[in-house]
Amino acid sequence: MIPSAAEWTGDPTPISAAEGWDHSGLDSTQFVQSSAGKVHALVVFSRYRADGTRYATYHTLWIVTRIDRHWGVQCRSSFAP
C-alpha cells in the first residue's frame, strides 16, 4: 500500500541497473471512472537517468479499490518491463 500521494514515485515495476535508471516521475493521472469503492486511473510515468535524461515513458491503467477503509492498487496493466 502507498501511504500517500507524496510517497508515490509512479513506478512500481522492477528496474534493471543496466537501464541506467536513477528515478521515476509521474507525468499525469486521469481518473476515468470512479465510485465510492473503486477508481480506474490512466497513469503516465517516465524513467530518468541521473543526468535528468528521460529515456522511457509508459502509459498504464490502474484499478484502485477501497477495502476495509484502505485504498490500494488491485490491478495495473502496463507494457513497462
Q: Does the residue 13 lie in any domain?
A: no
- Given a cut of 70, whether residue 1 has pLDDT beyond it is no
Q: Does the residue 3 lie in any domain?
A: no
Give the residue among 76, 71, 63 at the shortest CA–CA distance from 11.
Answer: 76
Q: Does the residue 34 lie in any domain?
A: yes
15-59 tens-digit pLDDT: 666 778 888 899 999 999 999 999 999 999 999 999 999 999 999
Give dist(CA 44, CA 26) in Å, integer. 6
Indicate the number of domains in the chain. Answer: 1
Q: What's the confidence (pLDDT) of residue 25?
A: 93
Q: Does the residue 45 lie in any domain?
A: yes
Domain, as residue range, for 67: 19-78
User: Cell for 2?
Assistant: 502507498
Q: Does the residue 7 lie in any domain?
A: no
Q: What's the confidence (pLDDT) of residue 45?
A: 93
Contact call for residues 45 and 58 (beta carbons, < 8 A):
yes
- Given a cut of 90, whether residue 62 has pLDDT beyond it is yes
Q: Does the residue 74 lie in any domain?
A: yes
Q: What's the confidence (pLDDT) of residue 38?
A: 97
Q: Does the residue 69 lie in any domain?
A: yes
pTM score = 0.71
**Mean pLDDT within 64-76:** 93
Q: Does the residue 73 lie in any domain?
A: yes
Asked which of 1-5, 52-56, 65-69 is least confident by mean pLDDT, the reply is: 1-5
| Residues near 30 by beta carbon (within 8 Å), at least 6 away in sequence | 41, 42
Burial of 29 (0-12, 13-18, 19+ CB in 10 A): middle
User: Cell for 69?
Assistant: 477503509
